[in-house]
Amino acid sequence: MVSNYDAVDAVEECFYGSATLGERGQVVIPADARKDCEINPGDKLLVFRHPLHKHMLIFAKVGEMQMLLQQLARAVEQASQKVVDPVLDEE
């Protein structure tokens, strides 16, 4: 189990500061965040609204999201191979 201190440290480690939306709808991602996440000029980012918090946005690099989806697809495939269909087992 994660202690409160560990959770606070984890949040602080992931917080990069604030950004302001400019008149043209642009947001500058803080330099430390760009460096740590290896975001470079010209990189494509996906922008999601958090499903539970309608005023929270999530940014993800396209390549990172593709890798995550591939990992999830493999995990689902592995899990589906282990699932036993109770209807078939009764026959």
What pLDDT is stored for residue 6 in this prediction? 84
Query: Is residue 60 domain-shared with residue 77, that is, in the same domain?
Result: yes
Q: What total number of domains does the chain contain?
A: 2
Query: Is residue 52 domain-shared with residue 63, that is, in the same domain?
Result: yes
What pLDDT is stored for residue 57 in this prediction? 94
Query: Is residue 48 domain-shared with residue 28, that is, in the same domain?
Result: no
DSSP secondary structure, 25-91, as one string: S--PPPHHHHHHTT--TT--EEEEE-SS-TT-EEEEEHHHHHHHHHHHHHHHHHHHHH---HHHHH-
**Domain limits at 7?**
1-43
What pLDDT is stored for residue 67 in this prediction? 95
Per-residue pLDDT tens digits of the chain, which is 91 residues long: 556 668 888 888 889 999 999 999 999 999 999 999 999 999 999 999 999 999 999 999 999 999 999 999 999 999 888 766 666 555 5
Query: Is residue 71 domain-shared with residue 52, that is, in the same domain?
Result: yes
What torsion, rounded to 10 degrees, do the Cα atoms 33, 28, 19, 23 define? -170
> Quick check: is 90 in a domain?
no
